[in-house]
């Protein structure tokens, strides 16, 4: 990308199709100039559930997806599935352009919001890795924080079936269980669409991943351009 090119190419790598619309909406709002390229490997969630952990094969697959995007000209890569954070971080450490985990920026915001954090998730296989990633970030900053997770797999099933009204309703019904928290995170790009509905029933801030991730990605791409 030349330094005078106002349209960086951003590769978005998805594991579920329902993550695509929320991140597209966030880009249109926050960084419409970026050229988005979508890559999908929709077998990743099922393979993770089958294996029960991030296997070497899954780690290599995550890296290959990022390498493919970079080979095709991506100036940065944003993964939108929260289940693969550790593998994404390993790839990011060795690749030549910014490669961002989906929840990195949201976790930062949550740690700044208080010490009792809630999270609404829909993909149970992603939760253990997300909990560890969040607590590791807190430990690095010397912060003692509690994380309470409510998982709604039936909401993900509804979204995959195209029933977004049920998806959002299930979030709204579950959200009051986390009303005592200092902030509540929506765990995935795919459930960030429920942000306004959940915020309407909670007194604390509700955080979603796409907007925060785009701001960090835009900053990192800008640093490279200036360099």
pLDDT of residue 1: 44
Q: Does residue 186 form part of some domain?
A: yes
Is 62 in contact with 81 (CB distance < 8 Å)? no
Is-contact 74 97, C-beta < 8 A? yes
More confident residue, 227 or 137: 137
Task: Give residues with Cβ within 8 angstroms of 3, minimum separation 6.
Answer: 225, 226
Lowest mean pLDDT among 2-11, 34-43, 152-161, 198-207: 2-11
| 169 assigned to some structural domain | yes
pLDDT at 44: 96
Q: Does one domain contain both 78 and 161?
A: no
Q: Is the pLDDT of residue 57 over 80?
A: yes
Q: Which domain holds residue 156?
A: 104-208
What is the pTM for the complete model shown?
A: 0.80
The residues near 192 (Cβ < 8 Å, ≥ 6 apart) are 22, 26, 186, 208, 209, 210
Q: What confidence tens digit (pLDDT) does each residue in 16-39 have?
A: 998 899 999 999 999 999 999 999
Same-domain check for residues 95 and 41: yes
CA angle 31, 191, 43 (to 5 degrees): 95
Q: Tell me if 1 is assigned to some domain.
A: no
Q: Are residues 111 and 191 in the same domain?
A: yes
In the structure, what pLDDT confidence band is assigned to residue 125 with cuts at 50, 70 and 90? confident
- Is the pLDDT reported for residue 55 higher than 60? yes
Helix (H) or strand (E) holding 180: none
On whether residue 199 sits in a domain, the answer given is yes
Total domain count for the chain? Answer: 2
């Amino acid at each position: 990308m030349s330094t005078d090119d106002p349209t960086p190419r951003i590769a978005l790598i998805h594991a579920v199709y329902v993550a695509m619309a929320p991140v597209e909406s966030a880009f249109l709002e926050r960084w419409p100039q970026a050229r988005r390229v979508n890559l999908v490997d929709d077998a990743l969630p099922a393979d993770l559930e089958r294996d029960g952990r991030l296997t070497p094969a899954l780690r290599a697959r995550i890296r290959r997806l990022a390498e493919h995007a970079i080979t095709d000209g991506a100036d940065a890569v944003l993964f939108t599935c929260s289940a693969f954070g550790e593998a994404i971080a390993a790839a990011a450490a060795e690749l030549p352009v910014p490669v961002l985990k989906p929840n990195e920026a949201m976790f930062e915001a949550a740690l700044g919001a208080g010490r009792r954090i809630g999270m609404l998730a829909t993909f149970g296989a992603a939760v253990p890795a997300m909990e560890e990633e969040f607590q590791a970030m807190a430990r690095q900053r010397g912060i003692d924080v509690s994380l309470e997770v409510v998982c709604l797999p039936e909401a993900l099933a509804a979204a995959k079936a195209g029933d977004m009204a049920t998806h959002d309703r299930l979030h709204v019904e579950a959200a009051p269980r986390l009303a005592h928290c200092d902030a509540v995170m929506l765990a995935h790009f795919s459930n960030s669409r429920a942000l306004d509905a959940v915020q309407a029933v909670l007194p604390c801030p509700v955080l979603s991943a796409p907007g925060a991730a785009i701001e960090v990605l835009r900053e990192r791409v800008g640093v490279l351009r200036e360099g």
